[in-house]
Amino acid sequence: QVALLDIDICGPSVPRMMGLEGEQVHQSGSGWSPVYVEENLGVMSVGFLLSSPDDAVIWRGPKKNGLIKQFLRDVDWGEVDYLIIDTPPGTSDEHLSIVQYLSAAHVDGAVIITTPQEVSLQDVRKEINFCRKVKLPIIGVVENMSGFICPKCKNESQIFPPTTGGAEKMCQNLNISLLGKVPLDPQIGKSCDKGQSFLAEVPESPATLSYRSIIQRIQEYCELQHSQEEKII
């Protein structure tokens, strides 16, 4: 059982990417019901509360924080094995609030996404510093948009060149795990736009293999943490 919570209040992309655009949240006796992609995957996003996907949520921090609190308190997630929270970029209200509201819960850690250029790595180093300041463990870093194989001639181009060594060098320097690199594949964007699972659509592509290996590494990290905790108890 997996729950996916989108706390990008002003730019919620999860409903579209999950093929759930136009869905509405239902109120039940036990609170808000998530919208289900499949039986074992429930999703919550501000996108389900808007009358049109083009509606803008023009809210300052406090209102955004209020909704995030409601998502955690009022959604009836049921029994879940994993709660995955998708945040916007940055180190501001959404990030501070989610850490604060979950402070009494056990959080396995953060997965941080970057692209290979220094301009992105610089923002990501700030996010890593944020995690360290608020004592949020870091599971690892994923490098997205890593290289592009021309479909015609098979030549690989670094479209976002890793001028300072990319995520690999940054992870070495900061002593953080690199969970994997996901190559640029136009089908990924298409799948997101159409709300289809890229992993199911193109199961043998290099990007799918990379995604699967990243998922496995995250699961191993979480299992190791839990077994260590059980020993301590």
Q: Which of 5, 25, 72, 184 binds a copy of itself (CB under 8 A)?
A: 184
92 contributes a contact to a copy of itself by CB under 8 A: yes
The whole-angstrom separation of Cα 68 and Cα 88 is 13
Residue 137 binds a copy of itself, judged by CB under 8 A: no
d(CA 200, CA 214): 16
Q: What are phi and psi of 180, to 5 degrees?
A: 160, 170
Over the window 202 to 221, marking each residue x when it contacts a copy of itself by CB under 8 A and - when it does not, the resulting string is: --------------------
Q: What is the rounded (10 degree) CA torsion for 54, 97, 82, 70?
A: -60
Q: Is 130 in the site for a copy of itself (CB under 8 A)?
A: yes
Q: Which member of 28, 186, 230, 231 binds a copy of itself (CB under 8 A)?
A: 186
SS3 call for 97: helix
The 3-state DSSP class for residue 93 equals: helix
The two most distant CA atoms of the chain are separated, in Å, by 58
Q: If binding is defined by CB under 8 A, does position 201 make contact with a copy of itself?
A: no
Using alpha carbons, select from 15, 74, 17 the residue that is nearest to residue 45.
15
Q: Which one among 33, 37, 91, 199 touches a copy of itself, defined by CB under 8 A?
A: 91
Report if residue 61 touches a copy of itself, rule: CB under 8 A: yes
Closest to a copy of itself by CB, 53 or 203 = 53
Could you say which residues in the range 65-84 bind a copy of itself, by CB under 8 A? none
Cβ–Cβ under 8 Å, residues 54 and 71? no
Binding interface with a copy of itself (CB under 8 A): 9-11, 13, 16-17, 53-62, 64, 88-93, 95-96, 117-119, 122-123, 125-127, 129-130, 133-134, 148, 150-153, 155, 157-161, 163-164, 184, 186, 189-190, 192-194
